[in-house]
Amino acid sequence: MWGHRPTSVFIPLTPKNDITMKRFLPFALSASAVALALMSTSCGNTQKSPDKIVTYDGPTFFKPVMQDVVADTVFDFDGNKIETTRVSRYASVDDTNNFISLNIYASRTNDAINGALSKYIGEAVDAFSQIDDSVKEMPVDSALNIDAARMVNIADSTVTYFSSKVIPQAEADSVIAVNLAIELKPVWADDTYVTYMMSSQTYLGGAHGEDDIYLQSYDRKTGAPMGFYNLIPSDRQDAIRAQLLDIISRSQNMTVDQYLASVNQWIGNQGADNWTVKTFPIAHVALTGQGYVFYYPKYTIAPGSEGCPVYVVPIKK
């Protein structure tokens, strides 16, 4: 049914008590042109954080790009250069409420990273699969190697598919509007890793739109996506978990025990299913200059009214 988006869940190769939940979540269409400040407690929450809690100061939601661009672009993060090809595509049918916007920075040095970016695009388009079940040309396997030139073709085929299939069918069904905006962009790098912002906004004609944003780190040599168990040294993982729970709890003006009791009650966990410091879910974690940045989609650890929480665990040197 129009306006309903089935949850998309991506499970990495990690112990089963950790999760990586990649969802497309509620987002007001009228706010899509407004940058939402991501505080250490949640998206759009302006409550002051407790002392000594690091507030994340990285990327926020973006404005849809309304231009067509293919241009080599080099990012310089304190001397660590990331060579990309920027692929921006925008197409609107009838009016600005029916549109697709892509702003993709494809790697010019690592085709495996492009495979992961392509997978993200394919998953975003899958939100509209109720319109047309025909096979789409976007690969969905993040292990695929895709060069920057092919990423341009993927962007073009995505725009063609959306403009020729999704929007006309939505209009035929008298849907008020449909749109999709995606931005995949490097936001940090060192000599080992590059971290991308993965972000999308979708609207399928329902009461509200949906959004998705998180950071993803990749190995610059292999292009392998990095998660909790291969990004954080094994001898630091327990300590990082404890720091994360301490930061989350203090941001809620609670002790760790109080917070765990509260979140377990809200989730509906009982007995052996209760989350502890060691089993608290890890949604998305990436490396930036501030430290380890943990993203949680809406509804995964808090009510939707609290937004999409993001927390920074500084790296002790």
pLDDT in tens, 163-198: 988 888 888 888 888 999 999 999 999 999 999 999
In whole numbers, what is the pLDDT of the chain averaged over residues?
81
Among the listed residues 315, 249, 234, 310, the one whose alpha carbon sits nearest the alpha carbon of residue 39: 310
CA 106 to chain centre: 16
Model confidence band, residue 34 (pLDDT cutoffs 50, 70, 90) = very low
Model confidence band, residue 23 (pLDDT cutoffs 50, 70, 90) = very low
Residue 150: pLDDT over 70: yes
Among the listed residues 313, 301, 316, the one whose alpha carbon sits nearest the alpha carbon of residue 247: 313
Q: How large a percentage of the chain has pLDDT more than 70?
A: 79
Model confidence band, residue 48 (pLDDT cutoffs 50, 70, 90) = very low
Residue 37: pLDDT over 50: no
- Are the CB atoms for 136 and 122 separated by under 8 Å? yes
Q: Please tell me which residue, 208 or 85, carries the higher pLDDT value.
A: 85
Question: Could you tell me if residue 79 is left (phi over 0), alpha (psi between -120 and 50 degrees) or otherwise beta?
Answer: left
What's the predicted TM-score (pTM) here?
0.81
pLDDT of 184 reads 97
* Mean pLDDT of the region 143-165: 91
